[in-house]
Amino acid sequence: MNITLHHPTFASEVVAPTSKSAAHRVLIAAAFANAPSRVRVTGAGADIAATIRCLTGLGAVITEHPDKDGSAWLEVTPIVAPVHNALLDCGESGSTLRFMVPIVAALGTGATFIRRGRLPERPMEPLASELLAHGVKSTDNADGSLTVRGKLTAGDYSIAANVSSQFVTGLLFALSLLDAPSVLTLTGEIESAPYIDMTVNALAAFGAAPMRTADGRIYRLGGCALRTPGRLYPEGDFSGAAFPLAAGAIGKSAVTVSGLSLDSAQGDMEILSLLERFGAAVHKNEATGSVTVSPAPLHGIDIDARQIPDLVPILAVIAATARGVTHITGAARLRLKESDRIATTAAMLRALGGRVTETADGLTIESSVLTGGTVDGANDHRIVMSGAIAALCTKGDVTILGTEAVSKSYPAFFELIHSAD
Contact 400, 388 (CB under 8 A): yes
C-alpha to C-alpha distance for 339 and 203, rounded to whole angstroms: 31
Beta strand residue intervals within 43-173, DSSP E:
61-66, 71-77, 86-89, 111-114, 136-140, 146-150, 156-160
C-alpha to C-alpha distance for 93 and 47, rounded to whole angstroms: 5
C-alpha to C-alpha distance for 286 and 407, rounded to whole angstroms: 29
C-alpha to C-alpha distance for 22 and 319, rounded to whole angstroms: 28
**Bridge-based pairing state of the strands 111-114 and 146-150:** antiparallel
Beta strand residue intervals within 286-420, DSSP E:
290-294, 302-304, 325-329, 355-359, 362-366, 373-376, 398-401, 417-418
Contact 39, 63 (CB under 8 A): no
Sign of CA dihedral 102, 103, 107, 108: negative
Backbone φ and ψ for 66, nearest 5 degrees, come out as -65, 150
Beta bridge partners of 187: 160
Span between the terminal Cα atoms of the chain, in Å = 19
Beta bridge partners of 211: 220
In the residue annotation, 310 being an active-site residue is answered as yes
DSSP run (H or E) holding 283: strand 281-285
C-alpha to C-alpha distance for 266 and 320, rounded to whole angstroms: 25
Out of 47, 237, 268, 310, pick the active-site residue: 310
Cα distances (Å, whole numbers) of residue 12 to 24, 178, 238, 252: 29, 48, 17, 10
Catalytic residues: 310
